A = this chain, B = another copy of it.
Amino acid sequence: MKAKTPSESRTVMTDLVLPSETNPLNNLFGGELLARMDRAASIAARRHSRRITVTASVNHVAFNRSVPLGSVVTVEAALSRAFRTSMEVFIDVWIEDRFSGERTKANEAIYTFVAVDDTGIPTEVPPIRPETKLEQERYEAALRRKQLSLVLAGKMKPHDATELKALFMGDA
């Protein structure tokens, strides 16, 4: 299959934070943001693979900034790396100040999707070719995350997770 670029899967989902989505402090529920990110990321994975895509995993997500009621939230998702049948999607979340219009980063997250056919069987996806410096960095980090995921799932020995091991051995 012909390689695609991250920008071919880039998906932008801008929407308001409504009262039914907020906690007692009038901020967006973490769970609602997780659901929005999943929808945006699944569209990105579908744009890359042209297949039905199902969420396989969510990487560690930190909620560093609260998102107040009435905010304009922009979720941007794009493929960071494609494996054989799975795709890692990197998601950036931005919010805008109502008065200044200033846009600040609220969150980022990494979801993995598997492409499946109509019976749910995993199916191959095109490779990816990063273009920008940021895309290249995310592409390389994706491999380390894949190794960590395999180690934690007991499917790869820590010893074989070459890239990951370097992280801990470096300052031993």
What does DSSP make chain A's interface, helix, strand, loop or mixed? Answer: mixed
**A47: Cβ under 8 A from any B Cβ:** yes
A35 at the interface (CB under 8 A from B): yes
Contact, CB under 8 Å: A52 / B24: yes
- Given the known A-B contacts A13-B14, A54-B30, A72-B46, are A60 and B63 also in contact in the complex, defined by CB atoms under 8 Å? no
Most B CB contacts (10 A, CB to CB) among A70, A101, A171 go to: A101
- Chain A window 15-55, contacts with chain B (Cβ cutoff 8 Å), 1 for yes, 0 for no: 11011101111010111101111111011001100101011
- A66 to B116 CA separation, bound complex (whole angstroms): 13
> Which residues from chain B contact A58 at a C-beta distance below 8 Å?
30, 34, 58, 60-61
